[in-house]
Amino acid sequence: MKVHRNVSPRQEVLNERALYTAILTLETVDEVRAFFRDLCTPAELQAMADRWAVVTLLGEQLPYREIQRQTGVSVTTIGRVARYLGAGHGGYALAAAQLRGAGRR
């Protein structure tokens, strides 16, 4: 739950955009790893890595229980990832498609 802060909605959007812009400046996996290790707690990184693993396994059409067995992620989280994969902002699907395309080069 987000704590109320004295930041305007416009400033929040600008801060978020600045974060994404900073990420886009990074050029290697090692640079991105260092940035995210500074930015996030180990638990936050693990949660994001787990969700990405779920995206990959959903792409392989595995049942939720098998994904849970392989990752240790709750069925509720798997369902949430699946919902966003199908009806979110398109980020999961875009990244997965781009990685599949990069593998074909």
Domain count, the chain: 2
Residue 28's domain spans which residues?
1-39
Provide, rounded to the nearest whole percent, the portion of the chain with pLDDT above 90. Answer: 88
pLDDT score for 16: 97
Asked if residue 54 and residue 33 are part of one domain, the reply reads no
**Considering the entire predicted model, what is its pTM?**
0.86
pLDDT score for 4: 67
Among candidate residues 41, 37, 32, the one with its CA nearest the CA of residue 95 = 32
* Contacts with 66 (C-beta within 8 Å, 6 or more apart), sequence order: 57
Q: Taking 60 as the threshold, does the pLDDT of residue 1 lie above it? A: no
Asked if residue 31 and residue 53 are part of one domain, the reply reads no
Asked if residue 65 and residue 102 are part of one domain, the reply reads yes
Provide, rounded to the nearest whole percent, the portion of the chain with pLDDT above 70. Answer: 93
* Contacts with 80 (C-beta within 8 Å, 6 or more apart), sequence order: none
